[in-house]
Structure 1
Amino acid sequence: MGSPTAFKELTSLLVDLLRVRLASTEDDDWLDAHQIQPLPPTAIEDDSNVRLGLYLYDVSGQSGRSSDSPAIESGHKIRPPLALDAHYLLTAFPNANAENETTAIYDQHEVLGLAMQALYDNSIIEPEQTPNSLGEQQLTIAHEGQDSTDVLDVWNTFPDVPKQPCAGYRVGPVMIDSTQKTAFERVSDRDVRLESTEDDGPEDRFQP
């Protein structure tokens, strides 16, 4: 089931996914593993070697989950797990080692495209591919079609940081179990029978 460490494990899972696709052991790989980090844009300096950042910037409740019924276990009613969506900002940063500014920008754009391709190709992650802390749910990675205002709202939370090419993603469901248990007793079954006599007509059985 879901654990309070679910967000930590989810971020690690996504970063590993990006590293496998963009920074394996091939000679023509675009990035080294250490250049893909779970960092916000504020943590990246101008001369930083980080090229791709994945930042958890928001969490929201997942729609359609509020009506889940409590589980019954050993005479206790267990509150349903909290079902959430994680919102990530995927950001590509300029190549500080590029020959010139134009090359750095082209490299930056290509890295973003490769990262988006990797997440698109792995948009469904089956439970057997995830840590136990994420529960037994199938994970979905979805690109959020944010308009320019939404993206700017996120970037406006980063003071004095120039906006970089980025994309928003929603990942879920992230399940966090409740520790709340309530003891209860089951209601006993009762045999209730209704009888009527042959003399009773409809007017005798129902009140006007």
Structure 2
Amino acid sequence: MGAYTAVADASETLVELLRGQMRDLVVESDVALTSPGATGTDGTPRLTLFLYRTEVNPYLRNRDHAGTADSRPKPGSLALDLHYLLTAHPSDGGSDETARSLEQQRVLGRAVQVLADNSVVTGSNLRASLADDRELRVVFDSQSTNDAFEVWNTFTDVPFQPSVVCVVGPVFVESETAPEAQRVVSQQVDKHLLEGRDADE
């Protein structure tokens, strides 16, 4: 739990979840973890997931965990919220623009449905270092609508495509440094407790 790979493992969890439950509309390679503005020689994927912002969760900042195996206290982990832009892209083939747009919207709708149905990801669906975590929550963020436009404005000559923003977390990244426990150098005994014990004897 809390490895430095936690952010990447969260992204892989989402991508594999979408790939596994969208086979009726797209092939696995058409779901990609990449910028929606990226294009390659093989064409644009049908669905892209783009991590555009990472924030420290203010409510879980410096959360403390139990000590390590040798009883030394472990530093609090850093709790992160991951902001993703989920975008559907039109298919490359076909000349009917209406048909292509409708298919594009179906892909986005199906992706939203998958993530909504799995708003709490647990168990075997969690990848790698997240496997020991109890859950990963997926929330669609209507407050971040402007984020989508700001992200798209960074792309040159790339037309805007239907997109939604979702926030995923908490993702914990723990320090590998375990501080030495403070050595006991003094001991204080309550005088009244000693007097009470003597009286009982």
Bin the TM-score by the shorter chain. Answer: 0.7 to 0.9
For residues 1-208 of structure 1, what are the structure 2 equivalents within 5 Å?
Answer: 1-23=1-23, 29-44=24-39, 48=43, 50-66=45-61, 68-69=63-64, 71-73=66-68, 74-134=70-130, 135-146=132-143, 148-185=145-182, 187=184, 190-194=188-192
User: TM-score, length-normalised on structure 2?
Assistant: 0.84
Q: What amino acid is aligned across from residue 175 of structure 2 in structure 1?
A: S
- The alpha-carbon distance between structure 1 residues 39 and 132, as it changes in their structure 2 partners (threshold 3 A), is closer
Residues 125, 189 of structure 1: CA spacing in aligned structure 2 closer, same or farther, 3 A cutoff? farther
In 2, the alpha carbon distance for the partners of 1:19 and 1:158 equals 26
- Relative distance call for 1:89 and 1:34 in structure 2 (3 A) is same
Q: How much has 1:147 moved relative to structure 2?
A: 5.2
Structure 1 residue 118, shift from structure 2 partner: 0.5
Q: Distance in 1 between matches of 2:44 and 2:36?
A: 13
Instruction: Give the superposition deviation at 1:155.
Output: 1.4
**Structure with the greater alpha carbon radius of gyration:** 1
Task: Please give the per-residue CA displacement for 1:15-37, whole angstroms capped at 9, x wherever unaligned.
Answer: 111111111xxxxx211111111
User: What runs of 5+ residues in structure 1 fail to find an aligned partner?
Assistant: 24-28, 196-208
Distance in 2 (alpha carbons) for counterparts of 1:168 and 1:99: 30
Cα–Cα, structure 1 residues 3 and 113, in superposed 2: closer, same or farther, change >3 Å?
same
Higher helix fraction (1 or 2):
2
Q: Structure 1: how far apart are the matches of 2:128 and 2:32?
A: 23
Alignment RMSD = 2.3
Structure 2 runs not aligned, ≥5 long: 194-201
Which runs of 4 or more aligned residues in structure 1 lie more than 4 Å from their structure 2 counterparts after TM superposition?
A: 186-189
Residue 4 of structure 1 aligns with an amino acid whose one-letter code is Y
The amino acid across from 1:38 in the alignment is L
The one-letter amino acid of 2:76's match is P
**Alignment partners' CA distance in 1, 2:112 and 2:14:** 12
1: distance between equivalents of 2:144 and 2:3? 33
Residue 63 of structure 1: how far off its partner (Å): 2.4
